[in-house]
Structure 1
Amino acid sequence: MPFAIYLLGLAVFAQGTSEFMLSGLVSGIAGDLGVSIPAAGHLTSAFAVGMVVGAPLMAVLSRRFPRRRALLAFLVAFLAAHVAGALTTSFAVLLLTRVVGALANAGFLAVALVTAAGLAGPDAKGRATSALLGGVTVACVAGVPAGALLGEVWGWRSAFWAVALLSLPALVAIARAVPAGAPDTAAPHPAGQEDAGPNLLGELRALRSPRLRLTLLLGALVNGATFCTFTYLAPLVTEVTGLGSGWVPAVLALFGTGSFAGVSLAGRVADARPLPLLAGGSCALLGALALLAVSATHPAAVAVLVLLLGALSFGVGATLISQVLYAASGAPTLAGGFATAAFNVGAAFGPWCGGLALSAGLGHRAPLWVSALLVGVALAVGGTAYARRRRGGAPAPAVPSFRGSGRCARTPPRP
């Protein structure tokens, strides 16, 4: 595997850390900037909104520029947004930097996926994608707890500085290691002509597919549940479980370890048996959320259930992403954009719903019940669609039309 792919993965690790680290910084940001915890939780939603808008938009716009130049421009914008966030004393400005950082993240990821596939060659695209997007899961295991620990010791701004500093070596390395014009696996085009690629309108027509729309909806609901719980996990641990704030990084590390295990398991079985994994995993996720809500005062139960929630959330989410890519076979360049946008709709909607429950005075367990409700809706919608397909004699919408490619199921829930 070309070393440049791992350098791209370093940048993805920094960006994944930025997206998820707010779970351990919400309380500190709220106290420092004089806003409520639900308001600080909107920073997660703002990042998700930027990803929703940026994923399809940047995927189209970045095709006009050489890949190395686009990668460097997006990474510089991402770095600058975090420097501005670390320096500001205004919550409004911090909110804006989250949107800008998300747009840059979405653009970088769109270009990096194509670049990594080109560098690896036509027979190693799955391995290249796994190596690149593995940075997101590693961010959950190591980057997020480290950010929470920095926030606890030196304040939340130190975590923003750390992300910016982590982006610097990736910036230098990409400038040196990534070719100015990344290899293209398609047939060469005459000099001076751009790659026509798939017709954009034709790819957008793929959204007419009922199976694709259903899978996108299920992905948004499940990812909404994941982010609703994850965003307010730190206040749950300190206010309900009664653990000190120093335990928050350890709890987040448990969630990240579970997410790594869930993605790994999904990568092995999701292509061959997606429907049992989705149905069984979603039912187990619903049960684990409810169990955590009623046993949140017991530290041992919290530790076990947080680990389990990470595995179930990311395992189901990874499988749904693979199903989006199967269902969007008519949109080879925008399929990832469709998945990213849908999953980040959930990432914005989930914390917003959890914040509403907190603002209503329902207590710090409320986001868990909101998450359980979202998973329950996903089960109801998916089960109804499956029953209708069975009655009509059509194949179930979650079953892929072909097998043999493990790369889709190994993709983590935030491309």
Structure 2
Amino acid sequence: MPFGLYLLGLAVFAQGTSEFMLSGLVPDIARDLGVSVPAAGSLTSAFAVGMIVGAPLMAVVSRRWSRRGSLLGFLGTFLVAHVVGAVTSDFGVLLVTRVVGALANAGFLAVAVVTAIGMVDAKEKGRATSVLLSGVPVACVAGVPGGALLGQMWGWRSAFWAVVVLSVPALFAILRSVPGGVPDVARVGVRQEVRALRGPRLQLALLLGALVNGATFCTFTYLAPVVTSVTGLGAAWVPVVLALFGLGSFVGVSVGGRIADGRPVPLLVVGGVALLVGWGVFALTAGNPVAAVLLAFVQGALSFAVGSTLITQALYAAADAPTLAGGFTTAAFNVGAAVGPWVGGVVIGAGFGYRSPLWVSAGLVGLALAVGATGRRSRGVATPALPPM
């Protein structure tokens, strides 16, 4: 894999850390800025909305720009937003910086996905995607706990400064490693690309990806109270279990990337069934510390192996939408990341307890398997635009 891919992964790591780190900083932000905890929690929702809206929007806006210029512009905007967020004492300004940062993050990821697959052979899209997306689980393993630790030691602002520090080397690396010319594919008309996005294979891949990602982040969002209230482990175990989930995610995206190009169907079928069974077993055995710790790792690995493979299949299916594919794929998966935790919160609020998000995750994966099977039968969809086996 080209070294530039790993540099893009570094930027994704910095942005992933920013996206997830607020889970451990909300109480400190609320206290420091004089707002309620739910109001501070809205910073997370604002980022999610920015990602969903920003991914396709920024992909359209940047169609005529060089990929290097797009990546530098988006990452530079992301960096400036975090500098402003780190120094402001006004909650409204902080909220705006989260939206702006999310828009820039979405635009960067949309362009980075297309750039990554353009840096490798046409049959290596899965491996390229896995290298790029490996920054997300690494953020779960190191970035999120690290942000929480910085917040405890030096305040929540230090976590924002840490994201800035991580972004700076990626900025210079992109300047040196990504070509500066405008790609020929940018000459494809927007209407032609939008028509390509209506293809049933692509839509199926995006829907399945949203469902699987919704299942993943439904449980991940509420993993802390599961560990403390259901499993019965102390609060000190929460970062350990979160790190294990992230470590499993890194293993899953790495292994999945090596299989996704050549044997995606077995991975999706076997991995999907295993994921469904795993969420059900996790829900039933969450009270057992050994089972809970082990399944956090296993489910992280299965979730990201299946999820990253679906991203790859969406990119194969969107070959005729070369500049918009990354944006719409990013948006679809962020819809899942927003809806899954929301549904988990609804069932918890309804009194079903902290095991209920695990059952929601199982239900979303089960729905994905049913939709996938129905889609193949009714539309004759085997796999989206697979490369030769």
Give the structure with the larger helix fraction: 2
Distance 1:335 1:215 in 2: 12
Give the aligned residue type for 1:327: A
Distance 2:17 2:88 in 1: 20
Alignment of 1:358-369 (within 5 A): 358-369=348-359
Of residues 288, 304, 310, the one that matches 1:320 is 310
Distance 2:186 2:168 in 1: 34
Conservation of the 8 A alpha-carbon contact between 1:262 and 1:310: yes
- Bigger shift: 328-337 or 78-87? 78-87
Alignment of 1:124-143 (within 5 A): 126=125, 130-143=130-143
Of residues 235, 239, 246, the one that matches 1:249 is 239
Distance 2:238 2:26 in 1: 12
Partner residue of 1:35? 37
Distance 1:84 1:262 in 2: 35
Q: CA deviation at 1:386?
A: 2.9
TM-score (norm 1): 0.81
Conservation of the 8 A alpha-carbon contact between 1:275 and 1:399: no
Is 1:170 the counterpart of 2:160 in the alignment?
A: no
Distance 1:274 1:295 in 2: 30
Q: CA deviation at 1:379?
A: 1.8
Partner residue of 1:350? 340
Q: CA deviation at 1:138?
A: 2.7
Is 1:217 the counterpart of 2:202 in the alignment?
A: no
Gaps of 5+ in 1: 187-194, 405-415
| SS, match of residue 354 in structure 2 | coil
Is 1:232 the counterpart of 2:210 in the alignment?
A: no
Across the aligned residues of Structure 1 and Structure 2, the Cα RMSD in angstroms comes to: 3.1
- Bigger shift: 22-31 or 356-365? 22-31
Partner residue of 1:110? 110
Partner residue of 1:309? 299
Conservation of the 8 A alpha-carbon contact between 2:55 and 2:110: yes
Give the aligned residue type for 1:57: L
Query: CA offsets per residue over residues 31-69 of structure 1, 9 Å max, x none?
Result: 775324xx7665444323222211121112123445444
Conservation of the 8 A alpha-carbon contact between 1:203 and 1:334: yes
Q: CA deviation at 1:182?
A: 1.3
Alignment of 1:30-179 (within 5 A): 33-36=35-38, 43-87=43-87, 94-113=94-113, 120=119, 126=125, 130-175=130-175, 177=176
Give the aligned residue type for 1:303: V
CA distance 1:274–1:172, shift in 2 (3 Å): closer
Conservation of the 8 A alpha-carbon contact between 1:86 and 1:157: yes
Conservation of the 8 A alpha-carbon contact between 1:51 and 1:341: yes
CA distance 1:360–1:100, shift in 2 (3 Å): farther
Q: CA deviation at 1:234?
A: 2.0
Q: CA deviation at 1:86?
A: 4.0
- Bigger shift: 306-315 or 145-154? 145-154
| SS, match of residue 187 in structure 2 | coil
Q: CA deviation at 1:167?
A: 1.8
Partner residue of 1:410? none
Q: CA deviation at 1:399?
A: 5.7
Conservation of the 8 A alpha-carbon contact between 2:219 and 2:358: yes
Is 1:283 the counterpart of 2:268 in the alignment?
A: no
CA distance 1:97–1:355, shift in 2 (3 Å): farther
Distance 2:91 2:258 in 1: 43
- Bigger shift: 123-132 or 331-340? 123-132
Alignment of 1:333-344 (within 5 A): 333-344=323-334
CA distance 1:268–1:16, shift in 2 (3 Å): same
Of residues 264, 270, 287, the one that matches 2:254 is 264
Conservation of the 8 A alpha-carbon contact between 2:66 and 2:183: no
Partner residue of 1:190? none
Distance 1:182 1:379 in 2: 42
